Chains A and B, each alone.
Chain A
Amino acid sequence: MTDIAENGTEAVRGVAVTLNGRVIDAQPGELVINAAERAGVYIPRFCHHPRMQPVGMCRMCIVEIDTGRGPALLPSCMIPVAEGMVVETESPVTRKAQDGVLEFLLVNHPLDCPVCDKGGECPLQDQTVAFGPGESRFVEEKRHHEKPIAISDVVQLDRERCILCDRCTRFAKTVAGDPLISFVNRGNETEVNTFPDHPFASYFSGNTVQICPVGALTATPYRFKARPWDLDQVESTCTSCSVGCRVAVESSSNQLVRYLGVDVDAVNWGWLCDKGRFDFEAVNSENRLARPLARQGDDLVEVSWSDALTKAASALGGAKERHGSSSIAVVGGARLTNEEAYAWSKLARSVLGTDSVDAQMGDGLPSDVVLGLPRATIDETCAAGTVVLLGPDLKEELPILYLRLRDAVVNHGLNVIEISASQTSMTRYAAVSLRYRPGEAAVLVQELFEHAGDVDVQADLGRARALLEANNVVCVLGRPSVAERADSVVQAALRLRSRVPGMRFLSALRRANIHGALDMGLSPGMLPGRVSLEEGREVFTEAWGQLPGSVGLDTAGVLRAAAEGRIQALILVGADPLADFPDRDLARRGVAGAGFVLAVDCFATDSVRQADVVLPAVSYAEKAGTTTNIEGRVSRLHQKVTAPGTTRPDWMIACDLAERLGGDLGFETAEAIWDEIERLAPAHSGLTAQRLASSEGLEGIVAAGPSSILETTMDVTATATLPVDGYSLRLVSTRKLYDNGTLVQQSPSLAPLAPGEVVRANPADLDRLGVASNDRVRVASSRGAVVAPVEADAAVARGTVLLAFNQSGSGAADLIDVSLPVTEVRVETVGIGDREVSG
């Protein structure tokens, strides 16, 4: 009632309930267990979970409830409040019932707390102490099961400890949509289990470990690593993708040991994906760069910070002096906090004098589109009239956004129109799913509005048109495939926008703090606070001393220029173009062609190994600051452990370099940087450190600053179909959650989960080409060739082949030429099964 009353609309009267003799004011429809909790009375529970439907499974929450027909023992998690209801949570009858429930729950429980990971933070322990009988009358033999069985690569199940609360199984089915664990058998034999040889391979499996009220489910990365009372905890933000889930980071003896999801309404509702939950292992990795390195012939050898910085500064200074500022480029920055991105942006513009800075790796969207389109939050997207998905497979790239949208569809009837090149995890939840030929998204959107297109899709197009009539349409916009250029997708989005009044957008760019980096101006032509170089020229010239005269190059442009010998100094800030840039040939030529390469990174990636000087940076768990998620929501990042070796935060490295180059960024602390951002960046004005640190900042605050960029630079006109070559298929390349990226590969629990390189194509196309499923095929483009096994997959649209980006093997990057609108490939058999066929 309060919310509504505060909004000044209608004040709804609450429901009067007598709780332990005191009258409380409950909300209509509220469950007794929740109403009591809000009134400060905790009713014990196991199965009840605030983010899932009640099931009344464990009976622990049983209390005496009188609804006018005399008191009865009822499960308070199943009973909504009613006017005049009388609830007794501490009466002798309630006590006895709770005693009995606990005694029963413990009948089969092994009571192996001393060797149980949950011991010390276990609801079963705690509630037994608080509400239990203290002694058991059970003298018979307990039920026995094999001690933990692996139900997935990361989750172990000890069935003896399970109290059958249905939290994990309910989560898998209703929240994750991956019902791979179920109750098996019945009565005393009931257990949680998977189907034989069908493991609980869900991207969200770690959540079941977090919500299991006993020690039945444990996660491999944490098992036996620490006891709860040894753990140190801070609240922070996940940076493994750009959803920005809130997390509790836990360490023991300066080692990260566990991440838990923190429940914030606006973002993750307490859930995390397994990548975000477990990839902290990479932070603990022994392969972390700990000391600066400098090239000596073919080798990188350890040097002091002072030597490394002097070397780097003299190369940068020399390049600037001899070839001008435009011969210097900064690529990367999504790994940085907002403060660090700002420092690098300032270093590049005011000290190095270059505008060739880009945090995107050629796999995103133009920054003016990302920053300039009107925005929607995750909540607003879930509550929209219709949502258009025009981007990657959300389950693979932004897992918790997928969970939120799935929930909106399944539980609240959200209508989703999917526009994609092949089926995705959202296809089954979409009201309409439309396929476009790679490179021709804009053509499809044009057909949609002009009633054109093939007859067989007319019905779908019609339904989509009808759904777009809804009030309040939001488009989730990202890059559906890196094997096509971004143009057509951008045109499609802008055309949608021009036809659907008031349409808003939610970005689906995946990389860590990419939105913070763009907001801080790590993109050519952009300055901090979502203003263009020209708009911000006056303010920032005054604050920073100087700005580059003209707009610089993006990553593709930088690599091209470098390949042609026009980049004398290339700075890679947490960037690995050799692995992440869609066109490996260009990346290779670019990195090799740059006169001098400075890498600032946590790991010796392929690109870092090519560098002349390497500066080791601290990772996200070792620094404080802020990050910005897909919504533009700024949340705080907290330091949990101390960094290895002599690593430094990226902002400090920027300051150090500035100083050696005779400049001064003027920062002593990361906090000082935030103050400058708040002062200068238009979109961040008013977002003070105090506000972020207050309770308001707990779920992050959306920087909803204005932007007028879009209106000035966009061209929606040219839309053309591309010529079709009957012998070729068009490549679609997207990411899988687990790939060959550093975080996954340096996390021993996750690395084996990367699916590896597989080519997927529609069975009809394979038939036509005379290729059989499981053959080894050669996929060749104008750029290069890849040999990998092929699988027939009806989910892949006809005329296309799917090859995930950055898996082990040579990968799609060998096929893609970023100068072409699409990647046409030919597929031919080179081997059957494991056998190579010659010729």
Chain B
Amino acid sequence: MGRLNAGNVALAHEIIGRYPRTKSALIPLLHLAQEQDGWVSDEAMVHIAELLDLTPSEVLGTCSFYEMFKREPVGRYLVNVCTSIACMLGGGDELLEHCEKSLGLTPGATTADGLFTLNEVECIAACTEAPCLQVNYRYFHRITNEEVDALFADLRAGGRSGEIPPHGTLTRVRQQVDPQRWDGRGGEGLPEERS
């Protein structure tokens, strides 16, 4: 928890090496920290500042601009319930109320076991599918109360791990393309299959 672990430091250096300017790696490294701990701690920001020769203040400035970087611990599952207008008309408020009851949380809070954080959010661009929610940014469209209960029960039981990785996970498959083949100049050197 906190500073990047050895594996991630190695990865950080690799990421830094991909950019002409070190500073450009700032957002990727914030993702890396969030992937490691599920949120971005002050220690992680200080560590990133050291790695990028920035001040912690500069890292905070960028990090705090983005809602999706969490600077407080959040649950393994971040539940975002939309209550903007389309969802409101389609039962979003009721959906939120049900989630509150089901998890025993008010919006913004996290369960004692650290499993769930509940949020009320503005439109998440799935208006045709109202009411809807996200768990770690995975969409659940036109979801009913029963489906919500089933979903939470599955997650509590450790299920659906293939579908919903823990909060902060960027990708479960690290792709490695030979840098020689994407050396970054206007498409030349892209993998053949894509160029």
- Residues of chain A touching chain B, judged by Cβ–Cβ distance below 8 Å, are 173, 178-186, 193-196, 198
Contacts and interface: CB of A to CB of B under 8 A. Distances in A.
Interface residues of B, number: 13
Contact of B65 (A181, A186, A198): A186
Interface string B40-53: 00100110000000
B42 to A, nearest CB: 6
20 contacts: A173-B58, A179-B54, A179-B55, A181-B57, A182-B57, A182-B58, A183-B61, A183-B65, A184-B60, A185-B64, A186-B64, A194-B57, A195-B42, A195-B45, A195-B56, A195-B57, A195-B59, A195-B60, A198-B55, A198-B56
Contacts, number: 37
Given A195-B45, A196-B42, A184 B64 contact: yes
Given A185-B64, A195-B42, 16 more contacts: A179-B54, A179-B58, A180-B57, A182-B57, A183-B61, A183-B65, A184-B61, A193-B57, A194-B57, A195-B45, A195-B46, A195-B56, A195-B59, A198-B55, A198-B56, A198-B57
Contacts of B65: 183, 185-186
A286 B60 CA distance: 43
A140 B45 CA distance: 36
Nearest to B61: A182
Contacts of A196: 42
Contacts of B61: 182-184
Nearest to A181: B57
Contacts of A184: 60-61, 64
B64 A195 contact: no
A184 B65 CA distance: 7
B72 to A, nearest CB: 13
A180 B55 contact: yes
Interface on chain B toward A: helix, strand, loop, or mixed SS?
A: helix
A188 to B, nearest CB: 13
Per CB-CB distance, the 9 closest pairs between chain A and chain B, nearest first, are A182-B61, A195-B56, A195-B57, A182-B57, A184-B64, A185-B64, A186-B65, A195-B60, A180-B57
Contacts of A185: 64-65
A181 B42 CA distance: 15
A194 to B, nearest CB: 6
A40 B177 CA distance: 61
Contacts of A178: 55
Contacts of A183: 61, 65
* Most chain B beta-carbon neighbours within 10 Å: one of A178, A179, A182, A186: A182
Nearest to A197: B42
A623 to B, nearest CB: 41
A180 B60 CA distance: 10
Given A195-B45, A196-B42, A179 B57 contact: yes
A197 to B, nearest CB: 8
A61 to B, nearest CB: 24
Contacts of B57: 179-182, 193-195, 198
A186 B56 CA distance: 17
A195 B55 CA distance: 9
Nearest to B66: A186
B65 to A, nearest CB: 5
Contacts of B46: 195
A198 B45 CA distance: 12
Nearest to A200: B57
Contacts of B64: 184-186
A178 B55 CA distance: 8
* Most chain B beta-carbon neighbours within 10 Å: one of A178, A181, A185, A194: A185
Contacts of A198: 55-57
Nearest to A173: B58
* Most chain B beta-carbon neighbours within 10 Å: one of A178, A184, A195, A198: A195
